[in-house]
Chains A and B, each alone.
Chain A
Amino acid sequence: MLSRTAYSTPAILSTATALLSRTPRPCIAAKWLRSRGFTSAPPAEPIPLRKHLKDEAKRRKAEEKSGKKKSSVVDTRLEKWELTVGIEVHAELNTSRKLFSSAAATAEESNVLPNSRVALFDAAMPGSQPQFQPATLIPALRAALALGCTIQRTSRWDRKHYFHWDQPNGYQITQFYEPFAKDGVLRVGADDGVPAGDLNGADSLNIGIKQVQMEQDTAKTTQVPPSTYHIDLNRAGHPLIEIITLPHIHSPQTAAAVVRKIQGVLKSVDACVTGMELGGLRADVNVSVRQRGTHGTSSYSGVTGLGQRTEIKNLSSFAAVENAIVAERDRQIAVLEAGGVIEGETRGWTLGATETTLLRGKEGEVDYRYMPDADLPPLIIGSDLVRHLEETLPELPDKTTERVQAQYGLSKKDAMTIVSLDDGERLEFLEEVVDLLRARVGAQGDEASQLGRLAGNWVIHELGGLLTTTDMEWQNVAITAAELADLLSHLHTKQITSRTAKQLLRTIHELPPTVERPSVEQLIDEGGLRLRPLSEEGYVALAESVLSESPQVVAAVKEKGQKGKVMWLVGQMMRLGEEGTVEPQKAKEVMQKLLGI
């Protein structure tokens, strides 16, 4: 169900939103919030995506550690109580028209005048009627197929009524009774973030998708303090899909993993607006608990024996999904253990909160008075279209990860990382680099796989590190795949040292994009960076001078057997030697020989 509904007061939108579109990529959550206008202050200094991911990982680790202590309290309760969660995810479809009018669909951030993309029906002009735009069906079908759903030949449109100024007709057109897709399944595993306790030894969990339906988005509200609201109908009528999972989820982490996975799937089949972090995603979660081994009296989506559920609406980040469920689970357990009763109510949760808050109780529940929309004929989807889309469906993230592991010899972790970065652009870049590199080196078999790993390492870690230290977004990276392939082929064939290669990478990265760029070859030659191998004698002389300068270290290695210090000595050789002459491997061999180890 659409969650930005009646009676929720939109927060203030700062005018900073528009001005910030050229600043570096902020974290997903912050960007989402800003694009939706859910912030009251100009956002703080945007955090680069990579840093955000790092921080998130750090936070999660820290939480895991501290969680062990905390969870010892919770754990005893969780042994007694079982959590059940069902999720509804809303995603904005990537279409050029609105769902029921030929007005252009507007991406959130584009610089379009408010209320400039509004057809008569979008403004609910008396006497106007909806006109279904068949092209909007394509991304919706792709999404449903990617989620393993069965496409229904006939589906229908229903009106869901509620009064709010962001809903010009007084109802939202959705597919409540007969959705276009049903009975899908989403597989999530440890790599997606499912905790081991949830997996029970299995590789992965299958989360049932009850249905996927198409529906209209609402208008955007901007509050002009103190009491004026501006309504922009550009978004009104934009097509959304709502994905409803079965209540098959039993931990907050798995719930977040499911939402993350759904996002990845939608992105991979190009079903949603560019980069879902820009605002295409929000989730509502249904949460209930019951004592293990007992049967509750509630049921939904065909699953019986559950405890009374509550719904938490409008969650806009993965962390929000997870934390809101934790908070609501703990609240319900506390209420039940105190002898209370859980009411079927709608609750809200805000970022950073530790508790969910009551939005409206059962008696305040909106009755949406669903009815079929008599203006709209049933939607009939031909099996030929479904077949065609099935055959041309882009690769799903799991498949891509497997392929990247096999083709480039990357670790699973690195493969997942590169698949998830920059809307797949980073992966495309890598593929180009590897192709060029393999051609240049003429590599096959093991060597080809070695080159894949080398390139993967450089694209993910070296280039990624540069992005972090220079606070730059991927899309602004100037270095081309050909340049990196040149660089790596020189490195692989030992024409330059690894240190030189890293320096060159930084140099190219920092060249102003406007200047005529020298080739990698030119840079190497002009900088005199080509490896000029020292003779055996040269290495020995260099090693000896290092040894004579550091008698304590030599003593430590020889007398105390601190072999680790050898590498320090090798480092000294690298430092003393002329740029581009010392190979670390060779230096190490010579040093070990002189030390007699």
Chain B
Amino acid sequence: MHSARRCWHRASRHPLQPACKHVRAQHAQAGSLNAITNTAAPSNAEEQGRLAGKNVAIKDNITTSSLPTTAASGILSTHVSPFEATVVRLLRQNGATITSTTNLDEFGMGSHSQHSVHGPVLSPFTRDGIPLSPGGSSGGSAVAVASGQCWTALGTDTGGSVRLPAAYVGVVGFKPSYGLLSRWGVIQYANSLDTVGVLARSVGDVREVFEVLNQHDARDPTSLPDSVRQRVTSSRSERQDHKGKALRIGIPLDYNITSLAPSIRKTYTTLLTTLQSQGHTLHPIHLPTTRLALSAYYVLAPAEASSNLAKYDGIRYGQRSTTATADASPAEKLPLYAATRAEGFGEEVKRRILLGAYTLMSEARDNYFLQAQKVRRLVQRDFDRVFAAPNPLLDAGGHDIGEGEREEDVVDVLLTPTAPTLPPTVEEVQRSSPVESYMNDVFTVPASLAGLPAASVPVALPEAVREGLGEGDVRSVGMQVIGQFGDDELVLRAAEVIEKLYH
């Protein structure tokens, strides 16, 4: 129980973790948090390697050959994958033990981990006795890490699905640059955005896992080839080594939205002041397309989802409706597989499939899908304008940025809150409309659209804010560091700078 001891040890002096008695309480109630979907039988094998003896949990939309892979969907509720994801294989090769699979929003579609065929995930934190949302969609992974059920966990992040739950339950969540970690074996939700991410209790632990997984995989056609990885690395080493130097931190003024909760704003400004006092410099910057990013995301992701989920017809694997209309010759006028898909998918998945199918229709495509693609490009351009590092994926001349457009005051990383509010209770989530739920992703989606590395780090709530909250409530909120494409190490280092402020 190395990991539990470690958690205990750290919790006793760590202001971000719940107090000791809460940790004990969590362990008692860990099972009832519903973070785990399947647990592997204990193995006596002596593992060798960098991660020997470490227990890692895998989000249940990443295939494992030893456990079912359900994506928390009725349609895959009995699915056992015939192959294992590359990231899981790499963990095993480095000695890690895969202990369990973790609960999620069905196919990764959700911000609160409430839409699951296995039932909702609960945060270890409560407000007035009501459990809080653990965030989503990697809520199971976040809770499993927070409650000490594993050392670290893999999640997937399409629009914030690693960062948001990390922020809500007080752990570190890291979404690397798109294309660094293999997606072979990751069940697609929106494949141009899907990214494997790592959840852990410290940035150091995140880095350990990330370094093991960060390699090219020929089976994933979007995995960055070694040539590009080398180009990224060399372009980074050409720039001055940041180690130990002050960070130039960008403050996106466009993220100062009216719906930003006072508690978050207070924590954010306190953090900024502290960083400044440590010698880091703050630079207000503009990301004007940000306000369009969320809408663009909720056009693009469902469009890809409607395509990626078309394969679930109950024929080759998965659940198949037993009603008469599930027959190969369906009843008059009923589309093929309607019954199987109606029974197999949950409401949120159906909502997004319909949304995506609509925005791809020939009459709607130009107004929605193509517009959203353009916004995505603009969002990326916004980021390229403010980062000191050029985007290594663009031509040497920085093709997309017009002359003179670049901000004079360029920065190393951006710092924003991860979510605009404290986690809501699960009851509030139930009462809110889908669109209100989507609002949670407003700060995480831009980095996803641009494929940038981003980490959420827990930051202690200022005393004044904490006093206003009940005993079981959260003690930290997530702050998000975003870096230029390929600047994953810089993002982790900046996250560490913040992490250290609270030690």
Contacts and interface: CB of A to CB of B under 8 A. Distances in A.
A164 B315 CA distance: 11
B362 A125 contact: no
B20 interface: no
Contacts of A171: 307, 310
Interface in B160-191: 183-188, 191
B101 to A, nearest CB: 13
Contact of A371 (B69, B184, B303, B315): B303
Contacts of B329: 9, 227
B311 A367 contact: no
B81 A367 contact: no
A129 B360 contact: no
A125 B183 contact: no
Nearest to B217: A129
A162 B134 CA distance: 37
Interface stretch (A190-198, A287-295, A372-380, A474-482): A372-380
B191 A127 contact: no
Contact of A164 (B76, B82, B316, B336): B336
A374 B83 contact: no
A429 interface: no
**Residue among B184, B313, B327 facing the most chain A CB atoms (10 A cut-off):** B313
B310 A129 contact: no
Given A367-B362, A371-B303, A377-B221, A126 B328 contact: no
Contacts of A376: 221
Nearest to B356: A369
A164 B329 CA distance: 11
B348 interface: no
Given A227-B328, A376-B221, A127 B360 contact: no
B315 A131 contact: no
Contact of B316 (A123, A367, A369, A370): A123
A168 B316 contact: yes
B90 interface: no
A127 B185 contact: yes
Contacts of A124: 311, 316
Contacts of B279: none
A498 interface: no
B311 A169 contact: yes
A126 B220 CA distance: 13
A202 B160 CA distance: 66
B304 interface: yes
Contacts of B185: 127-128
B85 interface: yes
Contacts of A371: 303-304, 307, 360, 369
A165 B328 contact: yes
Nearest to B306: A369
A168 B315 CA distance: 9
Interface in A298-331: none
B307 A163 contact: no
B316 A127 contact: no
Contacts, number: 106
A126 B221 contact: no
A161 interface: yes
B90 to A, nearest CB: 15
A132 interface: yes
A129 B63 contact: no
Contacts of B454: none
A170 interface: yes
A124 B184 CA distance: 13
Nearest to A165: B315
Contact of A168 (B186, B219, B311, B335): B311
Interface string B84-108: 0100000000000000000000000
A45 B40 CA distance: 61
B124 to A, nearest CB: 30
Contacts of B360: 161, 369-371
B361 interface: yes
A153 to B, nearest CB: 16
A229 interface: yes
A130 interface: yes
B395 to A, nearest CB: 14
A523 interface: no
B83 A170 contact: no
A75 to B, nearest CB: 40
B337 interface: yes
Given A229-B328, A369-B357, A127 B81 contact: yes
Contacts of A377: 221-222
A120 interface: yes
Nearest to A163: B336
Interface string A148-184: 0000000000010101110011110000000000000
A231 interface: yes
A541 interface: no
B304 A374 contact: yes
Interface string B301-327: 001101101110101110000000001
A74 interface: no
B192 A120 contact: no
B83 A127 contact: yes
Interface in A391-435: none
Contact of B83 (A120, A164, A168): A120
B203 interface: no
A202 to B, nearest CB: 39
**Residue among B71, B187, B336 facing the most chain A CB atoms (10 A cut-off):** B336
Contact of B311 (A9, A170, A228): A170
Contact of A126 (B81, B304, B335, B365): B81
Contact of A159 (B63, B69, B307): B307
B310 A126 contact: no
A163 B222 contact: no
B69 A129 contact: no
Given A132-B221, A165-B328, A171-B307, A231 B315 contact: yes
A129 B311 contact: no
Contact of A369 (B188, B313, B315, B361): B361
Given A6-B336, A163-B336, A127 B184 contact: yes
Given A132-B221, A375-B222, A125 B317 contact: yes
A169 B85 CA distance: 19
B369 to A, nearest CB: 7
Interface in B184-232: 184-188, 191-192, 218-222
Contact of B361 (A123, A132, A229, A367): A367
Nearest to A377: B221
A165 B313 contact: yes
Interface string B230-261: 00000000000000000000000000000000
B307 A170 contact: yes
B10 interface: no
A138 to B, nearest CB: 20
B350 interface: no
B73 to A, nearest CB: 10
A129 B184 contact: yes
**Residue among A128, A159, A165, A228 facing the most chain B CB atoms (10 A cut-off):** A128
Interface of A: 6, 9, 120, 123-132, 159, 161, 163-165, 168-171, 227-229, 231, 367, 369-371, 374-377
3 tightest Cβ-Cβ pairs between the two chains A and B: A170-B310, A374-B192, A369-B360
15 contacts: A127-B69, A127-B186, A127-B188, A128-B185, A129-B219, A129-B221, A159-B307, A161-B306, A163-B337, A169-B311, A227-B328, A227-B329, A369-B307, A369-B361, A370-B360
Given A129-B184, A165-B313, 9 more contacts: A125-B81, A130-B221, A131-B219, A161-B360, A164-B336, A369-B307, A369-B361, A370-B365, A371-B360
